[in-house]
Amino acid sequence: MQELECLILGAGWTSTFLIPLLRTHHLSYAATTRDGRSVAGSKTIQWTFDPDENEDSHLQFSNLPLAKFVLITFPLTSAQQSKTLVNGYLKTHDKTPSPAHFIQLGSTGIWQIPQKTLWVSRRSPYDTKNARAIAEDEIISSGGCVLNLAGLWGGARDPKTWVSRVAKTKEDVKSKKSLHMVHGLDVARAIVAVTSDWDKAKGQRWMLTDGFVYDWWALMVGWADVKGSSDGDAVAAEPSEQAKWAFELMREEKVWALPRSMLALGRCYFGSEFWDTFGLVPLKARI
């Protein structure tokens, strides 16, 4: 059985960026989906993870290809689920003394708990009772790597479309402070970097952002012309309700200009450590 560089378990939105990048780097890969559909021009293996399979069975993994790196894109929600997946794959793909390495994609949401400091890093306290964090801890303890991703954008995911959903009232706008994002292409670049320098990545939890701390108010005002009026239509254009509310709040709270200060934003993610460690710089930032 030929060993691939990367096996993607659950090829979804991230894979629309990752698969083309793997091709560019001439890295061999395979990917799974629930229905076996094509993703980014590549056929996928129809496969679904069964977390309740008998631990001694491992039948669900037997048809998966052999790979150096196994990327888990879907959330696992218990330590046992992580054990079932990791142990099941390793036992059906025995390649001692170099077993497969596991990379789990997670969310920076685990750090959304009261913090003692303004700046939050990958080493800051996180919600250890969070089901996904518990599963991720198990991946890390087994020598794997977790990439906790900030808000994802790129392709069909346009942050402008989030505004009307998250800020329906002036009170909603008032509550909005910091936002952290990362583009799908930079997620893909981070994954490839991890596979290229595993000694730095293994056994670690990494926070992945584009290095910016965005101010929700600044974004809302910057996207005031939400319909994207042309120059000819600009005379009749009206700013969005969210932009109007943001300016009202600026007057009320004596905010003289945007973006607000880091102190006012309240939670700021230290987003440069991953990029510094792997000698990279993000390609895409939403400003």
- What are the backbone dihedrals phi and psi of residue 269, each rounded to the nearest 5 degrees, phi first? -85, 135
Token pair of 157 as six digits: 């995911």
Residue 227 clears pLDDT 70, i.e. is over it: no
> What is the reported pLDDT for 287?
60
Per-residue model confidence as pLDDT tens digits over 12-71: 999 999 999 999 999 999 999 999 999 999 999 999 999 998 767 788 999 999 999 999
Closest Cα partner for 191 from 180, 181, 201? 201
> What is the reported pLDDT for 58?
80
Question: Residues 181, 210: contact at Cβ < 8 Å?
Answer: yes
Token pair of 216 as six digits: 């929700």
> What is the reported pLDDT for 282?
97
Per-residue model confidence as pLDDT tens digits over 107-164: 999 999 999 999 999 999 999 999 999 999 999 999 999 999 999 999 999 999 999 9
> What is the reported pLDDT for 250?
98
> What is the reported pLDDT for 54?
74
- What are the backbone dihedrals phi and psi of residue 233, each rounded to the nearest 5 degrees, phi first? -95, -5
> What is the reported pLDDT for 179?
97
Higher pLDDT, 230 or 177: 177
> What is the reported pLDDT for 95?
74
Question: Residues 106, 132: contact at Cβ < 8 Å?
Answer: yes
Residue 198 clears pLDDT 70, i.e. is over it: yes
Per-residue model confidence as pLDDT tens digits over 102-117: 999 999 999 999 999 9
pTM of the model: 0.95
> What is the reported pLDDT for 94?
82
> What is the reported pLDDT for 228?
61
CA distance 25 to 220: 38
> What is the reported pLDDT for 96?
61
**Cβ density class 224-233: b for 16+ within 10 Å, e for less:** bebeeeeeee
The mean pLDDT value of the chain amounts to 94
Residue 196 clears pLDDT 80, i.e. is over it: yes
* Secondary structure in 3-state letters for 2-45: CCEEEEEECCCCCHHHHHHHHHHCCCCEEEEECCCCCECCECCE
